[in-house]
Structure 1
Protein backbone atom coordinates (compact mmCIF):
# COMPACT_ATOMS: atom_id res chain seq x y z
CA UNK A 1 0.00 0.00 0.00
CA UNK A 2 1.39 3.39 -0.95
CA UNK A 3 1.45 6.32 1.41
CA UNK A 4 -1.22 8.97 0.76
CA UNK A 5 -0.07 12.49 1.68
CA UNK A 6 -3.28 14.11 0.45
CA UNK A 7 -5.88 14.88 3.09
CA UNK A 8 -6.25 16.51 6.50
CA UNK A 9 -3.66 16.08 9.23
CA UNK A 10 -3.47 17.20 12.86
CA UNK A 11 -0.14 19.06 12.99
CA UNK A 12 2.00 19.76 16.07
CA UNK A 13 5.52 21.09 16.21
CA UNK A 14 7.72 20.82 19.26
CA UNK A 15 10.61 22.83 20.62
CA UNK A 16 13.73 20.67 20.51
CA UNK A 17 14.20 20.71 24.28
CA UNK A 18 15.90 17.59 25.63
CA UNK A 19 14.75 18.21 29.22
CA UNK A 20 12.29 15.63 30.51
CA UNK A 21 8.75 16.80 31.21
CA UNK A 22 8.67 14.54 34.30
CA UNK A 23 4.91 14.82 34.76
CA UNK A 24 4.90 18.63 34.60
CA UNK A 25 1.88 19.42 32.42
CA UNK A 26 2.88 23.08 32.05
CA UNK A 27 6.33 22.07 30.77
CA UNK A 28 4.69 19.70 28.27
CA UNK A 29 2.49 22.51 26.95
CA UNK A 30 5.45 24.91 26.75
CA UNK A 31 7.26 22.40 24.53
CA UNK A 32 4.58 22.76 21.84
CA UNK A 33 5.83 25.27 19.26
CA UNK A 34 2.67 25.32 17.14
CA UNK A 35 -0.37 23.29 16.15
CA UNK A 36 -3.13 23.30 13.61
CA UNK A 37 -4.60 21.42 10.69
CA UNK A 38 -2.59 20.65 7.55
CA UNK A 39 -4.93 20.34 4.55
CA UNK A 40 -2.87 18.93 1.69
CA UNK A 41 -3.56 18.22 -1.98
CA UNK A 42 -1.12 16.41 -4.25
CA UNK A 43 -1.00 16.71 -8.03
CA UNK A 44 1.80 16.13 -10.55
CA UNK A 45 4.48 15.72 -7.87
CA UNK A 46 3.53 18.91 -6.05
CA UNK A 47 1.82 19.41 -2.71
CA UNK A 48 -0.32 22.47 -2.03
CA UNK A 49 -2.60 23.40 0.81
CA UNK A 50 -2.77 25.29 4.06
CA UNK A 51 -1.83 25.11 7.71
CA UNK A 52 -4.73 26.56 9.69
CA UNK A 53 -3.72 27.35 13.28
CA UNK A 54 -7.04 28.97 14.19
CA UNK A 55 -7.99 32.59 14.92
CA UNK A 56 -7.02 33.68 11.39
CA UNK A 57 -3.46 32.31 11.59
CA UNK A 58 -3.01 30.55 8.23
CA UNK A 59 0.00 29.63 6.11
CA UNK A 60 -0.40 28.73 2.43
CA UNK A 61 1.69 25.68 1.55
CA UNK A 62 3.45 24.66 -1.64
CA UNK A 63 6.34 22.39 -2.57
CA UNK A 64 7.54 19.22 -4.28
CA UNK A 65 6.84 15.63 -3.26
CA UNK A 66 9.60 13.15 -4.05
CA UNK A 67 8.85 9.42 -4.18
CA UNK A 68 11.56 7.47 -2.38
CA UNK A 69 12.43 3.94 -3.47
CA UNK A 70 14.46 1.20 -1.87
CA UNK A 71 13.83 2.07 1.76
CA UNK A 72 11.33 2.27 4.56
CA UNK A 73 10.28 5.84 3.67
CA UNK A 74 7.85 6.11 0.75
CA UNK A 75 7.80 9.88 0.25
CA UNK A 76 9.74 12.99 1.14
CA UNK A 77 8.55 16.55 0.76
CA UNK A 78 9.72 20.09 1.15
CA UNK A 79 7.00 22.67 1.68
CA UNK A 80 7.26 26.43 1.95
CA UNK A 81 4.56 27.96 4.13
CA UNK A 82 3.89 31.61 3.45
CA UNK A 83 1.72 33.89 5.53
CA UNK A 84 -1.56 34.85 3.97
CA UNK A 85 -2.06 38.51 3.09
CA UNK A 86 -4.59 40.24 5.32
CA UNK A 87 -4.12 37.78 8.21
CA UNK A 88 -1.89 37.87 11.33
CA UNK A 89 0.61 35.68 9.41
CA UNK A 90 1.23 38.17 6.58
CA UNK A 91 4.99 38.27 5.94
CA UNK A 92 5.70 34.97 7.73
CA UNK A 93 7.63 32.15 6.04
CA UNK A 94 8.30 28.66 7.37
CA UNK A 95 10.02 25.78 5.57
CA UNK A 96 8.95 22.18 6.22
CA UNK A 97 10.82 18.99 5.40
CA UNK A 98 9.11 15.71 6.14
CA UNK A 99 8.68 12.05 5.40
CA UNK A 100 6.11 9.40 6.16
CA UNK A 101 6.58 7.70 9.53
CA UNK A 102 7.64 4.06 9.42
CA UNK A 103 4.74 1.64 8.97
CA UNK A 104 5.21 -1.35 11.25
CA UNK A 105 4.50 -4.65 9.44
CA UNK A 106 2.96 -6.11 12.61
CA UNK A 107 1.40 -2.86 13.77
CA UNK A 108 -2.27 -2.89 14.75
CA UNK A 109 -4.50 0.01 13.72
CA UNK A 110 -1.48 2.22 13.00
CA UNK A 111 -2.59 5.68 11.91
CA UNK A 112 -0.58 7.25 9.07
CA UNK A 113 1.78 9.98 10.26
CA UNK A 114 4.33 12.33 8.80
CA UNK A 115 7.38 13.51 10.71
CA UNK A 116 9.96 16.17 10.07
CA UNK A 117 11.32 19.55 10.98
CA UNK A 118 10.28 23.13 10.42
CA UNK A 119 12.48 26.21 10.04
CA UNK A 120 11.39 29.80 10.66
CA UNK A 121 12.70 31.18 7.36
CA UNK A 122 11.85 34.85 7.98
CA UNK A 123 11.82 36.77 11.25
CA UNK A 124 8.48 37.94 12.60
CA UNK A 125 6.97 39.36 15.80
CA UNK A 126 10.44 39.83 17.30
CA UNK A 127 11.49 36.20 16.71
CA UNK A 128 14.56 35.66 14.53
CA UNK A 129 14.80 33.51 11.42
CA UNK A 130 16.64 30.22 11.75
CA UNK A 131 14.71 28.62 14.62
CA UNK A 132 14.12 24.88 14.06
CA UNK A 133 11.44 22.70 15.64
CA UNK A 134 10.40 19.08 15.05
CA UNK A 135 6.90 18.18 13.93
CA UNK A 136 4.51 15.28 13.64
CA UNK A 137 1.23 15.23 11.75
CA UNK A 138 -1.40 12.53 12.25
CA UNK A 139 -3.90 11.66 9.51
CA UNK A 140 -7.43 12.69 10.44
CA UNK A 141 -10.32 10.32 9.78
Structure 2
Protein backbone atom coordinates (compact mmCIF):
# COMPACT_ATOMS: atom_id res chain seq x y z
CA UNK A 1 0.00 0.00 0.00
CA UNK A 2 1.27 3.46 -0.83
CA UNK A 3 0.70 6.40 1.49
CA UNK A 4 -1.57 8.30 -0.95
CA UNK A 5 -4.06 5.38 -0.82
CA UNK A 6 -4.87 6.62 2.70
CA UNK A 7 -6.24 9.83 1.20
CA UNK A 8 -10.02 10.04 1.29
CA UNK A 9 -13.07 10.53 3.45
CA UNK A 10 -13.78 8.23 6.38
CA UNK A 11 -16.57 7.69 8.88
CA UNK A 12 -14.73 8.11 12.18
CA UNK A 13 -16.04 6.49 15.36
CA UNK A 14 -14.35 6.49 18.76
CA UNK A 15 -15.25 4.41 21.79
CA UNK A 16 -14.63 4.68 25.51
CA UNK A 17 -12.37 1.92 26.78
CA UNK A 18 -14.78 0.42 29.30
CA UNK A 19 -13.82 -3.17 30.12
CA UNK A 20 -17.20 -4.28 31.49
CA UNK A 21 -20.01 -5.46 29.18
CA UNK A 22 -22.70 -2.86 28.50
CA UNK A 23 -26.35 -3.42 27.61
CA UNK A 24 -26.50 -0.26 25.51
CA UNK A 25 -23.66 0.05 22.97
CA UNK A 26 -24.17 3.84 22.98
CA UNK A 27 -22.64 3.90 26.48
CA UNK A 28 -19.30 3.29 24.74
CA UNK A 29 -19.73 6.13 22.25
CA UNK A 30 -17.12 8.88 22.42
CA UNK A 31 -17.66 10.46 18.98
CA UNK A 32 -18.92 9.88 15.44
CA UNK A 33 -17.48 12.32 12.91
CA UNK A 34 -16.25 12.68 9.35
CA UNK A 35 -12.49 12.40 8.80
CA UNK A 36 -11.03 13.83 5.61
CA UNK A 37 -7.38 13.02 4.91
CA UNK A 38 -4.86 13.90 2.24
CA UNK A 39 -1.53 12.11 2.29
CA UNK A 40 1.26 13.30 0.02
CA UNK A 41 3.81 10.91 -1.52
CA UNK A 42 6.32 11.78 1.23
CA UNK A 43 3.87 10.66 3.94
CA UNK A 44 2.79 14.08 5.27
CA UNK A 45 -0.87 14.06 6.29
CA UNK A 46 -3.27 17.00 6.29
CA UNK A 47 -7.02 17.15 6.61
CA UNK A 48 -9.90 17.82 8.94
CA UNK A 49 -12.15 16.07 11.43
CA UNK A 50 -15.64 17.48 10.95
CA UNK A 51 -18.20 17.55 13.78
CA UNK A 52 -21.97 17.49 13.22
CA UNK A 53 -23.30 21.01 12.80
CA UNK A 54 -26.58 22.86 12.79
CA UNK A 55 -28.58 22.74 9.58
CA UNK A 56 -27.35 25.49 7.24
CA UNK A 57 -24.36 26.39 9.43
CA UNK A 58 -20.71 25.63 8.79
CA UNK A 59 -19.91 22.54 10.93
CA UNK A 60 -17.10 22.87 13.46
CA UNK A 61 -13.88 21.10 12.50
CA UNK A 62 -10.44 20.31 13.79
CA UNK A 63 -7.49 20.75 11.47
CA UNK A 64 -5.51 17.53 11.19
CA UNK A 65 -1.76 17.23 10.55
CA UNK A 66 0.40 14.18 10.86
CA UNK A 67 2.72 11.74 9.20
CA UNK A 68 2.88 8.18 8.02
CA UNK A 69 5.60 6.23 9.77
CA UNK A 70 8.25 4.83 7.51
CA UNK A 71 8.17 1.12 8.28
CA UNK A 72 9.34 -1.94 6.33
CA UNK A 73 7.12 -2.78 3.37
CA UNK A 74 5.88 -5.98 5.04
CA UNK A 75 4.58 -4.07 8.08
CA UNK A 76 1.16 -2.44 8.34
CA UNK A 77 1.06 1.29 7.57
CA UNK A 78 1.21 3.31 10.81
CA UNK A 79 0.51 7.02 11.35
CA UNK A 80 0.30 9.77 13.95
CA UNK A 81 -2.10 12.71 13.82
CA UNK A 82 -2.70 15.91 15.76
CA UNK A 83 -6.12 17.55 15.69
CA UNK A 84 -6.73 21.12 16.86
CA UNK A 85 -9.97 23.08 16.79
CA UNK A 86 -10.17 26.05 14.48
CA UNK A 87 -9.98 29.58 15.87
CA UNK A 88 -13.29 31.36 16.53
CA UNK A 89 -15.33 28.14 16.58
CA UNK A 90 -17.06 26.36 19.49
CA UNK A 91 -14.22 23.80 19.49
CA UNK A 92 -11.28 26.24 19.26
CA UNK A 93 -9.76 24.84 22.47
CA UNK A 94 -9.86 21.17 21.34
CA UNK A 95 -6.52 19.38 21.02
CA UNK A 96 -6.32 15.63 20.42
CA UNK A 97 -3.48 13.26 19.51
CA UNK A 98 -4.01 10.08 17.46
CA UNK A 99 -1.83 7.01 16.94
CA UNK A 100 -3.01 4.34 14.54
CA UNK A 101 -2.54 2.03 11.63
CA UNK A 102 -4.30 0.46 8.68
CA UNK A 103 -6.04 -2.82 9.49
CA UNK A 104 -5.30 -5.91 7.44
CA UNK A 105 -7.05 -6.37 4.13
CA UNK A 106 -8.13 -10.01 3.91
CA UNK A 107 -7.51 -11.48 0.49
CA UNK A 108 -10.74 -13.52 0.74
CA UNK A 109 -12.72 -10.82 2.57
CA UNK A 110 -16.16 -9.82 1.27
CA UNK A 111 -17.16 -6.14 1.11
CA UNK A 112 -14.13 -5.18 3.20
CA UNK A 113 -13.21 -1.50 3.35
CA UNK A 114 -9.98 0.20 4.25
CA UNK A 115 -10.16 0.75 7.99
CA UNK A 116 -7.91 2.81 10.22
CA UNK A 117 -7.72 1.89 13.91
CA UNK A 118 -5.91 3.24 16.91
CA UNK A 119 -6.08 5.29 20.06
CA UNK A 120 -6.88 8.92 20.72
CA UNK A 121 -5.77 11.11 23.64
CA UNK A 122 -7.37 14.36 24.75
CA UNK A 123 -4.14 16.37 24.97
CA UNK A 124 -5.59 19.52 26.54
CA UNK A 125 -8.57 20.44 28.75
CA UNK A 126 -11.49 22.01 26.91
CA UNK A 127 -14.78 23.50 27.99
CA UNK A 128 -15.48 24.84 31.45
CA UNK A 129 -17.64 24.30 34.50
CA UNK A 130 -19.89 21.25 34.28
CA UNK A 131 -18.84 20.70 30.65
CA UNK A 132 -15.10 20.67 31.39
CA UNK A 133 -13.42 17.81 29.52
CA UNK A 134 -10.12 17.01 31.21
CA UNK A 135 -6.90 16.21 29.39
CA UNK A 136 -5.78 12.60 29.57
CA UNK A 137 -9.04 10.94 28.45
CA UNK A 138 -8.33 8.15 25.99
CA UNK A 139 -10.50 6.20 23.59
CA UNK A 140 -10.12 3.71 20.76
CA UNK A 141 -11.12 4.63 17.23
CA UNK A 142 -12.06 3.09 13.90
CA UNK A 143 -12.32 5.07 10.68
CA UNK A 144 -13.92 3.32 7.70
CA UNK A 145 -13.13 4.68 4.24
CA UNK A 146 -16.09 5.83 2.19
CA UNK A 147 -16.48 5.54 -1.57
CA UNK A 148 -14.69 8.28 -3.50
- In the TM superposition, 1:96-111 aligns within 5 A as 96-111=98-113
Q: How far 1:109 moved relative to its partner?
A: 2.3
Q: Which residue of 2 aligns with 1:5?
A: 6
TM-score where L is the length of structure 1: 0.89
Q: Which structure 2 residue ranges, 5 or more long, are not aligned? A: 54-58
Q: Which residue of 2 aligns with 1:38?
A: 35
TM-score where L is the length of structure 2: 0.85
Q: How far 1:20 moved relative to its partner?
A: 1.6
Taking the aligned partners of 1:134 and 1:77, their CA distance within structure 2 comes to 15
Q: Which residue of 1 aligns with 2:49?
A: 51
| 8 A contact 1:72–1:102 mirrored in 2 | no
Q: Which residue of 2 aligns with 1:131?
A: 137
- Cα distance, 1:62–1:10 mapped onto 2, change above 3 Å: same
- Other structure's SS at 2:69 match: strand
- Other structure's SS at 1:64 match: strand
Q: Which residue of 1 aligns with 2:21?
A: 20
Length, aligned pairs only: 136
Taking the aligned partners of 2:67 and 2:2, their CA distance within structure 1 comes to 17
Q: Which structure 1 residue ranges, 5 or more long, are not aligned? A: none
Taking the aligned partners of 1:69 and 1:107, their CA distance within structure 2 comes to 24
Taking the aligned partners of 2:71 and 2:107, their CA distance within structure 1 comes to 18
Q: How far 1:58 moved relative to its partner?
A: 1.1
Divergent runs of 4+, >4 A: none
